[in-house]
A and B are shown apart, each in its own frame.
Chain A
Amino acid sequence: MPIGSALFDLPLLWSAIIALGVFMYVLLDGFDLGVGILFPFTSRREERDAMMNSVAPVWDGNETWLILGGASLLGAFPLAYATLLPALYMPVMVMLFGLIFRGVAFEFRFKAGDRQGWWDASFFAGSLVATFAQGVLLGAFIAGLSLERAPEGGWRYTGGAFDWLTPFTLMTGVGLVCGYALLGATWLVMKTDGRLQDKAFRAARRLTALVVLFIAVVSVWTPLAHPAIEERWFRWPNLLYLSPVPLVTGAVVLALWLALGRRRETAPFVLSMLLFLLAYLGLAISLWPYVVPRALTIWDAASPPDSQIFLLVGVAVLLPIILAYTAFSYRVFRGKVADSHGYH
């Protein structure tokens, strides 16, 4: 079907879709991984129960966006999928192990009785490890991969097995942990009350400060370490056009700080999501148009129009339906966790 590629740029459309899918993942699994990271903040069993119950009905759907990200990357940009994953083997595997132990902790903890401690640890450690690994992957992605053309066609990774491990990626790892923890804390502000909510408010304030620090560090370190990105942001007139991004970010941070101070319940979560959106936009601006920085553009890595259209049709029809029943599910479980009983 050549019509499609003539009417609009399919790889461009697909990168927008995948970017949206990844963003949905980051927001949704962000808060439930964040709740896991915050688990040690209370040692009370009822509070931990409430934390877990706040995300138990929705975590699986949230994590499914990660599977969609991988599968659609394979379908729309198979060369990117095939080069990125082996190059980032260790952090991807570590992330998967983290997600395994976070995922099973839900069911196993419910049934564990007095051995709950093990599964508490599984929930916390799994969430922490998975998040840290995702942050490392983010940093490695920004830093880019060294590729060369393979003799049999396609591309080959020419770096080492530990190239992904640098001070920069360790920093982004910790940064993402703080970011998800912030999402988790503001989610808990929304979904809990009493003592637990108080703790969540306090944690959210501290985390806001930390996240701001990390955003500042990343914003300075990334262009310093990567000349191409520095050029993108600081060359005139780009500096003018892109300046709203840091300005709006500053405004959102201020609004978040104030909302937390005023003990608003829903606004902090919305503002944290906005903060993530702005950080994500900043990232997209830095990395455009590379799907494997800085070697493969979206057009290099794209599958043929036919594959992209075949999947596009499905996405166009199914995504609204998915969003609708996902929203329905969140609606069913709206309100404070303390209200709900008989969760299992």
Chain B
Amino acid sequence: MDLDVLLLSRLQFAFTIGFHILFPTFTIGLGLFVAMLEARWLFWGEQGAYRLARFWSGVFALAFGVGVVSGLVLSYELGTNWSRFSSFTGNLLGPIISYEVLTAFFLEAGFLGIMLFGWTRVSPRVHFFATCMVALGTIISAFWILSGNSWMQTPAGYAVEDGRVIATDWWAAVFNPSFPYRFAHMVVAALLASAFAIAGVAAWYLLLGVHEEFARRTFSLAMWMAVVAAPAQLVIGDLHGLNTLKHQPMKIAAMESLWDTHRGAPFVLFAIPDEAGERNRAEVAIPRAGSLILTHSLDGEVKGLKEVPPQDRPPVTIVFFAFRIMVGIGMLFIAIALAGLWLRSRGRLYTARWFHRICLWVSPLGFVAVLAGWTVTEVGRQPWIVYGLQRTADAVSLLPAASVATTLALFVVAYTVLLLAFLAFFLRMVRNGPDYTLEPPHFQEKARTIYGRHPARNPAAE
């Protein structure tokens, strides 16, 4: 395997985007979480919710910052390392990414300052609006980027003219066949991963017996998020699978390591794919179950990898195992969420230490599942960069391999530093716990607003 510019560029993009995705995953979930907490304080008068909002806002800020800088890299990396992809698809994907910037990035960034620093500079309602705008921005961002990425998987609404893609139907291009499933799947994945990360922090406090009020509230909210998101993800994942079977049969074949086309395909629990030999070693399979899961019918047809020549197949081993990791974690999360529900009904949610220990141990796994899932979908798309239209090998910039090797090494070093720093600061924030000196602004006493409301005019002010 020689380190040519294609492999180096692929490694670099995979590394930079893999690192990046961890942070929006967390901020999508945290954004909604903080907005919900702030709403509970503002509209339902729950005083404790204010401190939770301030604490989790701080975590949000940390994750958001790293997400922004790593995202900036990607917007230029598409051009530097994938210039032939950019010139081929730019007419269609360029506007989509631009809309992401215009409707999401500016919205988040524009209101982030007020959300993080403006607690005493605007009224509580204006502040809540800012928090909501930031949270909304993260979701709109997911909308556009998943639209663009889904277009690469299931291109629609386009034509190829003069060797370049042009859009013929923008609605069809944006709302391409796989988009709704992948958008839903990603957003719920973000909520699920965040829920378990948040629950992990709360579980840690419960085990230590500190910050009890804070820990109980947080744990309860996180467990509710989990019990809704985990089963939902199973359903969405299933629907996503049906869609993928229809549009990208070879990806499904790789996910299941199915070599021959079957009616009534087996579900391969475990195997060691032998890509050269076009078969599985050490296969443990349940007959017919594959078709049942994939087509909802015991006799459904599932195409095997041998339907296409080897150069049109994705790498099987990586996709097969990544899929199992993702689903395994998903199932684990469902089990834990249901256990949490059962404990809650018995009134033991805050006292079952064995459960808290489990939650602590699994807390980072949501992010592992997200990485695994993205590996399945992007590696499973190979050898295509735009499925059926452009091969990855034909999309890379023709740069000197040494240049890319250098920048790849620099990214690995830089991102390792960032990740370690992020974790160090995150763990320190968790160790310090919430700030009990933070007094919520009294409802009757509005902070100095931009309209300069005079305390004397408000009779209820002290």
Residues of A within 8 A of B (CB): 56-58, 60-61, 63-64, 66-68, 70-76, 78-79, 81-86, 89-90, 92-93, 96-97, 99-101, 103-104, 106-108, 111-112, 152-154, 156, 161, 303-304, 306-307, 310-311, 314-315, 318-319, 322, 325-326, 329, 331-333, 340-344
Q: Would you mind naming 27 contact pairs between A and B with Cβ atoms under 8 Å apart? A: A60-B112, A61-B106, A64-B109, A67-B101, A72-B94, A72-B98, A74-B93, A75-B91, A75-B97, A81-B83, A82-B83, A89-B399, A96-B76, A97-B414, A99-B72, A100-B72, A152-B163, A161-B403, A306-B166, A307-B95, A311-B95, A322-B110, A325-B110, A329-B111, A333-B121, A342-B119, A344-B117
Asked if A68 and B90 make an inter-chain contact with CB atoms under 8 angstroms apart, the answer reads no
Asked if A314 and B99 make an inter-chain contact with CB atoms under 8 angstroms apart, the answer reads yes
B102 interface residue (CB < 8 Å to A): yes
The B interface is mostly helix, strand or loop, or mixed, namely: helix
Across chains A and B, which 8 residue pairs bring their CB atoms closest together, nearest first?
A: A78-B90, A75-B94, A57-B113, A85-B79, A74-B94, A82-B87, A103-B69, A61-B109
B425 interface residue (CB < 8 Å to A): yes
Residues of B within 8 A of A (CB): 58, 61-62, 65-66, 68-73, 75-76, 78-81, 83-84, 86-87, 90-95, 97-103, 105-114, 116-122, 161-164, 166-167, 170, 397-400, 402-403, 407, 410, 414, 418, 421, 425, 428-429, 450
Asked if B113 and A68 make an inter-chain contact with CB atoms under 8 angstroms apart, the answer reads no
Asked if A68 and B80 make an inter-chain contact with CB atoms under 8 angstroms apart, the answer reads no
Residue of B nearest to A93 (CB): B407
A111 contacts which of B76, B402, B418, B425 (Cβ < 8 Å)?
B425
User: Given the complex, which residues of A lie within 8 Å of B116, measured CB to CB?
Assistant: 57, 344
Asked if A67 and B72 make an inter-chain contact with CB atoms under 8 angstroms apart, the answer reads yes
A57-B118, A67-B101, A81-B94 known, 11 other contacts, Cβ within 8 Å: A60-B108, A60-B112, A64-B101, A68-B106, A76-B94, A85-B80, A85-B397, A86-B398, A86-B399, A103-B69, A318-B106
Asked if A103 and B113 make an inter-chain contact with CB atoms under 8 angstroms apart, the answer reads no
User: Given the complex, which residues of B lie within 8 Å of A79, measured CB to CB?
Assistant: 87, 90
Residue of B nearest to A108 (CB): B421
A310 contacts which of B66, B109, B170, B414 (Cβ < 8 Å)?
B170
Asked if B87 and A100 make an inter-chain contact with CB atoms under 8 angstroms apart, the answer reads no
B100 contacts which of A58, A71, A103, A331 (Cβ < 8 Å)?
A71
Asked if A92 and B101 make an inter-chain contact with CB atoms under 8 angstroms apart, the answer reads no
User: Given the complex, which residues of B lie within 8 Å of A58, measured CB to CB?
Assistant: 113
Asked if A85 and B407 make an inter-chain contact with CB atoms under 8 angstroms apart, the answer reads no
Asked if A86 and B81 make an inter-chain contact with CB atoms under 8 angstroms apart, the answer reads yes
Asked if B84 and A100 make an inter-chain contact with CB atoms under 8 angstroms apart, the answer reads no
Residue of B nearest to A75 (CB): B94
Residue of B nearest to A58 (CB): B113
B117 contacts which of A78, A104, A156, A333 (Cβ < 8 Å)?
A333
Asked if A82 and B91 make an inter-chain contact with CB atoms under 8 angstroms apart, the answer reads no
The A interface is mostly helix, strand or loop, or mixed, namely: helix
Instruction: Known A66-B72, A329-B114; judge A82-B94 contact (CB<8 A).
Output: no
Asked if B170 and A92 make an inter-chain contact with CB atoms under 8 angstroms apart, the answer reads no
User: Given the complex, which residues of A lie within 8 Å of B61, measured CB to CB?
Assistant: 107
User: Given the complex, which residues of A lie within 8 Å of B170, measured CB to CB?
Assistant: 310
Asked if A61 and B86 make an inter-chain contact with CB atoms under 8 angstroms apart, the answer reads no
Instruction: Known A311-B98, A314-B98; judge A60-B414 contact (CB<8 A).
Output: no
Instruction: Known A64-B106, A307-B92, A310-B95; judge A343-B66 contact (CB<8 A).
Output: no
Residue of A nearest to B163 (CB): A153
Asked if B69 and A326 make an inter-chain contact with CB atoms under 8 angstroms apart, the answer reads no
Asked if A111 and B100 make an inter-chain contact with CB atoms under 8 angstroms apart, the answer reads no
User: Given the complex, which residues of A lie within 8 Å of B95, measured CB to CB?
Assistant: 75, 307, 310-311, 314
B98 contacts which of A75, A99, A103, A161 (Cβ < 8 Å)?
A75
User: Given the complex, which residues of A lie within 8 Å of B83, measured CB to CB?
Assistant: 81-83, 85-86
Instruction: Known A56-B113, A329-B111; judge A74-B86 contact (CB<8 A).
Output: yes
User: Given the complex, which residues of B lie within 8 Å of A112, measured CB to CB?
Assistant: 425
Asked if A82 and B119 make an inter-chain contact with CB atoms under 8 angstroms apart, the answer reads no
Asked if A71 and B101 make an inter-chain contact with CB atoms under 8 angstroms apart, the answer reads yes
Instruction: Known A86-B399, A307-B94, A343-B117; judge A96-B72 contact (CB<8 A).
Output: yes
Instruction: Known A68-B101, A71-B100, A75-B98; judge A103-B65 contact (CB<8 A).
Output: yes
